[in-house]
Amino acid sequence: MTEKMLEIEDLKTYFYGDEGVVKAVDGVTITVNKGETVGVVGESGCGKSVTSLSVMRLLQDTPGEIVDGSIKFEGKSLLNLSEKEMRMIRGNDIAMIFQEPMTSLNPVYKIGKQLEEAIKLHLRYDKKKARIHAVNMLNLVGLPRANEVMNEYPHQLSGGMRQRVMIAMAMACNPKLLIADEPTTALDVTIQAQILELMQQLRNESNTSIMLITHDLGVVAEMCDRVVVMYAGEVVEESDVYTLFENPKHPYTKGLIGSVPKLGQDVEKLDSIPGNVPIPTNMPSGCKFAPRCEFAMDICWKKDPVLLETNDKHACRCWLYQDQEKALEV
């Protein structure tokens, strides 16, 4: 039986601000099995980072709140844990590579000390062994002069170097689950490839589960087993990676992949989808993609379709694939 590592179920994370409620994550369900890499894709503002911050329970400094749903790690709820228990899980069982690297390195400690402390705490290595492991990890993420970097402070490094330190730190402690939020966006292509390879290696050697948030469909194709497509705080499509590229269903996914068929043409390559993600305080009442969808029908403006799993664990939230008449009766 497949062992479930992370189960996010019907998660709702809302922000309460002056402008009203922002339903950043509005009923999201994502499962990551043991040893599996799940990609989470979608444009900016779709709720990908808020989903991962909810898992890590790192919303304290924001006006955000988990208002409903459950998050389980190895079958145990994370939402009932105390901050102290949560701190033991972060960096140990679950490690996260953040989109904003500077916020997660402590500016007053040298890189070496921060890496060593994490390794000593989580892997219970002595100082000497921890130092060797730290330098080794810095080398593995492609940092030049790893030994010198150990004695430097975060502000002495460039943004790209800091990001690599964060990646080294996240991977150094052999987490059971790695959440990587756009981990390589800021890095150049060669380093990016190196980091992705390192993630693959971690997964192959330690059977690590990975939730990989990315804009880059090439990265998804290369790295992921399964893909979850998010739009405006909801999951709109989910399937194995092969099916998603071969047979995307949701108009949004098709737009992302750039293969929406146009009248009179075979397949037109699209660079992007026209229009914008809706303003969170002013969501359309029916399907949230309707204002940008060329297939929008009457019902789309009235009622949000459900995420319906059809065959082969391929799920899609779109009226084109659902019984509209039945829905209108209720």
Ligand X SMILES: Nc1ncnc2c1ncn2[C@@H]1O[C@H](COP(=O)(O)OP(=O)(O)O)[C@@H](O)[C@H]1O
Q: Which positions touch ligand X (CB under 6 A)?
A: 15, 17, 22, 24, 42, 44-50, 62-64, 280
Between 49 and 163, whose beta carbon lies closer to Mg ion? 49
Q: How far is the CB of 284 from ligand SF4 (least distance, A)?
A: 9
- Max CA distance (Å), the chain: 70
Between 61 and 325, whose beta carbon lies closer to ligand X? 61
- The entry of ligand SF4, ligand X, Mg ion, none that residue 98 binds, CB within 5 to 8 Å by partner kind: none
Between 50 and 296, whose beta carbon lies closer to ligand X? 50
Q: How far is the CB of 148 from ligand X (least distance, A)?
A: 34
- The entry of Mg ion, ligand X, ligand SF4, none that residue 320 binds, CB within 5 to 8 Å by partner kind: ligand SF4
Between 166 and 318, whose beta carbon lies closer to Mg ion? 166
Contacts of 262 (CB under 8 A, 6+ apart): 268
Q: How far is the CB of 154 from Mg ion (least distance, A)?
A: 21
Residue from the set 15, 36, 37, 49 that interacts with Mg ion by CB under 5 A: 49
Contacts of 60 (CB under 8 A, 6+ apart): none
- Cα gap 154→108, rounded to integer Å: 8
Q: How far is the CB of 44 from ligand SF4 (least distance, A)?
A: 19
Between 164 and 288, whose beta carbon lies closer to ligand SF4? 288
Contacts of 130 (CB under 8 A, 6+ apart): 115, 116, 119, 120, 123
The piece of 44-52, 184-192, 304-312, 314-322 that touches Mg ion (CB under 5 A) is: 44-52
Q: What is the DSSP string of 204-216?
A: HHH--EEEEE-S-
**E strand map for the chain:** 4-17, 20-33, 37-41, 64-73, 76-77, 94-97, 177-181, 209-213, 226-231, 234-240, 308-309, 315-316
By the rule CB under 5 A, 51 interacts with Mg ion: no
The binding site for Mg ion (CB under 5 A) comprises 48-49
